[in-house]
Amino acid sequence: MTQASGTLVFFAGPMDSGKSTLALQMAHTQSAHDRRGVLFTSQDRGGHAHITSRVGLERAAKEVDPDFSFLNYIREIREQGGRVDFLICDEAQFYTPAQIDELALAADEWGVDVFCFGLMSDIRTELFAGSKRLVELADRVEMMPVRPLCWCGRIGTHTARVVGGVMVVDGPQVIVGDMDAGDGATDAVQYQVLCRVHHRLRQPKPAGTTLSPAVLPFG
Ligand SMILES: [Zn+2]
């Protein structure tokens, strides 16, 4: 018997656009009618995998490290008589392209509905590897409707890493948590959402302006 294929959807948006809130809402909604699902996240700030939204919701989730196999995980559940109807995948920008391929396969072969949430691009404005693969494979890419504002009031579209008030565009693609450079540097790493203009001009929020920047990590 052929099982109806599931869908793979990518909800993309900058930090502070409510992705984790939507992920948790989606988990709640999809759990109706005895549907079974699993929640995933990656690079969780506290070392204990949770999906945490800025409006105060939180659910335990499974951490996705680079060696994790979605297919093996689902297969084990099924072999034990369990069901997996849907997956909620937060911070999907950090997943590897091979893991995104697995998610597409789970949708196609096993009828699993997969809902991914993540940032589109990194501090250099380049697509994250996981996001790129999602754009290539997803049935649908949805842009988050709630758009954070740049300090200038324009729609914020680009993520900036700010260290000690200075925007930096080099360094590793991912820094989560306080930066511990090992050289005694204590400047906190902060992320801000800027409009394209101020990202290009490398002008983060000037000290003293009233729009408060978003703080770590992505959300
Ligand atoms: Zn701006």
Given a cut of 70, whether residue 176 has pLDDT beyond it is no
Q: Is it true that domain 147-209 has CATH number 3.30.60.20?
A: yes
Class at the top of the CATH hierarchy for domain 8-143: alpha beta
Instruction: At 190, list the tokens.
Output: 């902060």
Distance 24 CA to ligand 1 centre (A): 30
- Give residue 19 CA to ligand 1 midpoint distance, Å: 22
With a CB cutoff of 8 Å and minimum separation 6, the contacts of 3 are 109, 110, 111
- Where does the chain hold its CATH 3.40.50.300 domain(s)? 8-143
Residues 21 and 152: beta-carbon distance below 8 Å: no
Residue count (the chain): 219
Confidence check: pLDDT of 213 > 70: no
Query: Where in the sequence of the chain do the CATH 3.30.60.20 domains occur?
Result: 147-209
Q: What amino acid occupies position 68?
A: F
What is the CA angle 111-49-41, rounded to 5? 40
Q: Please enumerate in sequence order all residues whose Cβ is within 8 A of that of 171, keeping only pairs 6 or more positions apart, or say none.
A: 161
Where does residue 165 rank: exposed (0-12), middle (13-18), buried (19+ CB within 10 A)? exposed
Cα torsion at 31, 53, 15, 155 (round to 10°)? Answer: 90
Task: Tell me the CA–centroid distance for residue 191 and ligand 1, in Å.
Answer: 14
Catalytically active residues, by annotation? 91
Q: What is the pLDDT of residues 119-142, one digit of tens each?
A: 999 999 999 999 999 999 999 999
Mean pLDDT of 78-100: 97
- Give every CB contact of residue 56 below 8 A, 6+ residues apart in sequence: none
Sign of the CA dihedral running 143, 141, 157, 95: positive
Average pLDDT over residues 77-97: 97
Q: How, if at all, do strands 158-163 and 189-194 pair?
A: antiparallel
* pLDDT tens sequence across 96-111: 999 999 999 999 999 9
CA distance 98 to 79: 23
